[in-house]
Chain A
Amino acid sequence: MAHQKIDTYAATLDPEVRQAVRSNSAAGTEKRYQILGADFGDPDPLRKLAGAIKQHTIEHLDQYLEQAERSLTANGVKVHFAVSTQDARQAVLDILNQTGCRKVVKSKSMISEEIHLNDFLEEHGLESVETDLGEYIVQIDHDHPSHIVKPILHKNRRDIAKSFEREGLGDYNDDPETITRRARAFLRQKYLQADAAVTGANFVVAESGRMVLVTNEGNSRFCLAGTRVHIALIGVEKLVPHDRDLAVFLNLLARSATGQQLTVYTEFLSGAALSARPSGPREMHVVFVDNGRVDTLASNCREILRCIRCGACMNVCPVYRQASGHAYRSIYPGPLGAVLSPMLAGKNFSQLGDLPKASSLCGACNEVCPVDIPIPDLLLKLRNRAKEEHLPSPGTPPMAPFAMLATAPMLWRTAMHAGVALDLTPKNLIPVPALQEWLKIRTLPAWRGGKFRSWYKHRPAKGKDRQP
């Protein structure tokens, strides 16, 4: 295979999808740029501060995770820990079984995508319904999100209208307003019928045990108004030390993600709902999930754990814009995914070890990142690791013949002269597979080998006619 896997995928992308991904991502980048510029002029001091707070947090994760556990427990929250995908799913299932919950509504959470929670719960006879509009459409289509903030960037209104018709939500109608109203009517029954809500969390404050959840649609709010049990699946890296740090992160998150000052619904939860009130969970569980994060912390790419999942790096990335999210073959696409996905893959690093190559290292991802993650540096480190682990590198010819020539001057000279023959040979007839691979994505210039030696040998002697 000459192309990187990601190029192969990109080449097959429906032109309409490519256009949608490109224009939507570009619009996201533009909105982010406008609002941060208008509000802060230079957002760098704020980004760097946020990065420093997060770096401090992950480098003191032992202390903060313990503190968060204590604070959450003091708030009446039951805290659980899960090492692997399997453990995390099982923890959720156990809580649901113990509390007699059969119906679940879910608010968008990347970590539940990581562990494929919906499929697992359905296999165990439970109903689990996504409530974010985009995620709901992904679910009924048995598809995967292609962007961490805008999950159905790869679908158009006609695709969605067909899916809704198929699911019995009404006759074919591709008006976005109608689509939204139909989802509203359908999902609101689900909230009210459900026993439990499964959510993620954007932040957990170690000192107060306060959990922050943001949504624009209000779906997480509705999940936490309709149900009696709340289960939050949270990556161990989602902590921040103090309540005051939330001012830094909330001022960056929505601006970076969607160009808003604040997301519409920003919930700060410290435990189950007030017991005197009729609606809202009576109990709250937090499952802290590792699933590769602790190994990432031990690696030289630990900075990626600062990520607050805003999606700005994918919006700005020329490779993402061209290839779309599914090209990354993992839950996290774009520059974030090119680092995080192979890291979280753990022992299966090799399966995603090509992703760090899907970048021109232009640095745009680092510039927009609200926590200033040096993504290009991390990509280089991972390329290095792929090399050390001898992962095949599509499109790169073997270097052994070159090494042989370059270390034997006689052979080198002969090759330089003989190379002229290349100009006279149709390139596609040269029976060297590696060269054919290489040529599929590159062209060879005319042969100029040996010219320098010849010039050097015949150049005028010093002092005569030589130009300075």
Chain B
Amino acid sequence: MSHRDQIFQGILKALTPLPERAAYPDYDTAATTTPRWLPAAEDNETLFRQRLTGTGGFFFESPADCAAWLKKDGAKSVYLAPQVAHLAAEFAAHLEVVAEYTRDAVDRIDAAVTVADGAIAESGTVILTDSGTPDRLAALAPWWHIAVVPRPTLVRTIGEAIAAFPADPGIVWITGPSKTADVEGILIQGVHGPGRQGSFFI
């Protein structure tokens, strides 16, 4: 008998004697998963900024602000994804702009600006997809990652973001900078992914 059949037969044998099986509970996602402070909270854009900052992320008013901050924080080079190539002038004022991301550039390019497919206000989360990100590594390997959020893609809750999953094999939600507390419970940012995670709206 194949392993598959063995497992399915075992499961059937385990479940058949049950006098009844638990029903799927009836529930309303918004009513059960919405934090109690959310209905009275700010509009989505303000809330996103607050929550992003709360996770240790950075929010910028404009591409120019972002570029100036990157430089001040120590970045020298920045990769711009094709969707934001039109912002090259703003970034070139402060940093070396790279238009191509390649695997051998992983340790050479300091910062990357890519475009999110969406964002969640209640948690300060940005949503990236394979379709929207030219290279998974670009949004992960640099110390600074900026996920640009197109205003209309912003949703309020986790439940809404799930209800509107894009059709993409690789969706990733990023909520703040990469972090660990493995060493004596001390919080360190930037373990494998970016140590600085930021956003601005377009």
Contact = CB atoms under 8 A, between A and B. Distances in A.
Interface of A: 20, 23-24, 27, 38-41, 45-46, 49, 52-53, 55-56, 59-62, 65-66, 75, 80-83, 87, 131-134, 137, 150-152, 156-157, 160, 176-177, 179-181, 183-184, 187-188, 191-192, 210, 216-219, 221-222, 224-226, 236, 241, 243-244, 246-248, 250-251, 258, 260-274, 277-280, 288, 290, 294-295, 297-298, 302
Contacts of A222: 140-141, 192-193
B185 A267 contact: no
Interface string B158-178: 110011010011111111111
A109 B180 CA distance: 16
A188 B136 CA distance: 14
B158 A262 contact: yes
Contact of A297 (B11, B27, B125, B190): B11
Contacts of A177: 188
B186 interface: yes
B191 A217 contact: yes
A257 to B, nearest CB: 11
Contact of B170 (A131, A217, A280, A294): A280
B40 interface: no
A225 B171 CA distance: 13
Contacts of A183: 191
Nearest to B10: A294
Given A87-B3, A265-B178, A279-B137, A273 B188 contact: no
B159 to A, nearest CB: 4
B86 interface: no
19 contacts: A38-B35, A49-B27, A53-B24, A53-B25, A59-B15, A133-B183, A134-B180, A176-B186, A183-B191, A192-B103, A216-B191, A222-B140, A225-B137, A267-B173, A271-B169, A274-B170, A290-B10, A295-B14, A297-B15
A298 B14 contact: yes
B106 A192 contact: yes
Contact of B168 (A80, A132, A216, A274): A274
Contacts of A265: 172-175, 178, 193
A197 B39 CA distance: 41
Interface in B41-70: 51, 55
B138 to A, nearest CB: 8
A273 B135 CA distance: 10
B36 A40 contact: yes
Given A39-B36, A81-B2, A267-B172, A279 B136 contact: yes
A183 B55 CA distance: 23
Contacts of A247: 29, 33, 157-159, 162
Interface residues of B, number: 73
B123 interface: yes
> Counting chain A CB atoms within 10 Å of each CB, which of B33, B103, B163, B182 scores highest?
B182
Contacts of B169: 75, 269-274
Given A40-B35, A188-B141, A274-B169, 11 more contacts: A62-B12, A133-B182, A180-B191, A192-B106, A222-B140, A224-B170, A243-B162, A247-B157, A247-B158, A272-B169, A294-B11
A339 B165 CA distance: 36
Contacts of B170: 224, 267-269, 273-274, 280
B181 A150 contact: yes
Q: A-B pairs with the 8 shortest C-beta distances?
A: A218-B193, A298-B14, A274-B130, A294-B10, A225-B136, A217-B191, A134-B182, A39-B35
B72 interface: no
Contact of A188 (B35, B37, B133, B192): B192
Contacts of A262: 123, 125, 158, 173, 175
A46 B192 contact: no
A264 B178 contact: yes
B169 to A, nearest CB: 4
Contact of B3 (A53, A81, A279): A81
B162 A221 contact: no
A231 B97 CA distance: 36
A244 B163 contact: yes
B191 A133 contact: yes
A269 B14 CA distance: 30
